[in-house]
């Protein structure tokens, strides 16, 4: 059974969000399904070699019973998931492009103890986006020494 995991990201204004994601982060729209009123029923974007879904905030919770799907903008900025985008190169230039396009940079590019150079940004509706580029490959022992944390492969 081959499985692929695809995240779906919910917005009040998915079309505006997709324009932003294209301009700021370089994602590419690959599918867009709208109804007569222009509401987005289904949308996909390519991110590197992966795909993400873009969804419309559900107007009614009845569709999913007890669960509901909303934008962080409807929750005072809280989110239940975020996406880490892996980059092979060009992290700092990517950050400059995002900043110029109006992304809120919450963490400027910096090297982390675990070997990635990372930056973090928020899109206009408050979804958290982490960008990472591997710049070093420390061993578990090296990381444990620097951080004081313990690295295991399972519980």
Partner 1 sequence: MSDFKRPSITSGVSYRDPKAALTWLEQAFGFEPMMVVVNEDGTIGHSEMRFGDSMIFVGHEYDAKHKSPASLDGVNTQSLHLQVDSGLDALFERAKKAGAKVLREPADQFYGERSAMVADPEGHTWSFGQVIKAMSFDEMAKAGGHQEIRERL
Pick out residues in 26-45 that bind partner 1 (CB under 8 A): 29-36, 41
DSSP at 75: T
95 or 129: CB nearest partner 1 = 129
Within positions 47 to 106, which residues make up the interface with partner 1, using CB under 8 A?
A: 47-50, 52-53, 55, 64-72, 74-75, 77-86
Least distance in angstroms from the C-beta of 119 to partner 1? 15
| Of 88, 66, 70, 92, the residue nearest 80 (C-alpha) | 70
Phi-psi region of 126 (alpha: psi -120 to 50; beta: other; left: phi over 0): left
> Given the complex with partner 1, which of 59 and 154 has the nearer CB atom?
154
State which residue, 68 or 97, has the beta carbon closest to partner 1: 68
Q: Count CB neighbours of 140 within 10 A.
A: 13
**Residue keyed to tokens 């990635």:** 116
The 104-143 site mask, x for binding partner 1 (CB under 8 A), equals ----------------------xxx-x---x---------
Find the helix or strand (DSSP H, E) in which 18 lies. Answer: helix 14-20
From the number of C-beta atoms within 10 Å of its C-beta (0-12, 13-18, 19+), residue 144 rates as: middle
Question: Using CA atoms, how far apart are residues 35 and 54, in angstroms rounded to an integer?
Answer: 15
Torsion (CA) 118, 122, 128, 130 in degrees, nearest 10:
-10
For partner 1, the closer CB: 3 or 141: 3
CB of 26 to partner 1, least distance (A): 12
CB nearer to partner 1: pick between 34 and 109: 34
- List contacts with partner 1 (CB under 8 A): 1-10, 15, 18-19, 22, 29-36, 41, 47-50, 52-53, 55, 64-72, 74-75, 77-86, 126-128, 130, 134, 148-155
């Amino acid at each position: 059974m081959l499985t692929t995991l695809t995240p779906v990201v919910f917005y009040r204004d998915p079309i505006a969000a997709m324009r932003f994601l294209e301009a700021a982060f370089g994602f590419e729209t690959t599918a867009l399904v709208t109804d007569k009123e222009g509401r987005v029923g289904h949308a996909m974007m390519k991110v590197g070699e992966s795909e993400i879904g873009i969804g419309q905030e559900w107007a009614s919770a009845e569709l999913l019973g007890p669960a509901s799907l909303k934008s962080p903008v409807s929750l005072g900025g809280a989110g239940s998931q975020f996406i880490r985008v892996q980059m092979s190169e060009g992290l700092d230039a990517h950050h400059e492009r995002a900043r110029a396009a109006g992304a809120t940079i919450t963490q400027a590019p910096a090297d982390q103890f675990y070997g990635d150079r990372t930056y973090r940004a928020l899109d206009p509706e408050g979804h958290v986006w982490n960008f990472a580029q591997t710049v070093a490959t420390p061993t578990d022992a090296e990381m444990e020494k620097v951080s004081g944390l313990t690295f295991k492969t399972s519980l």
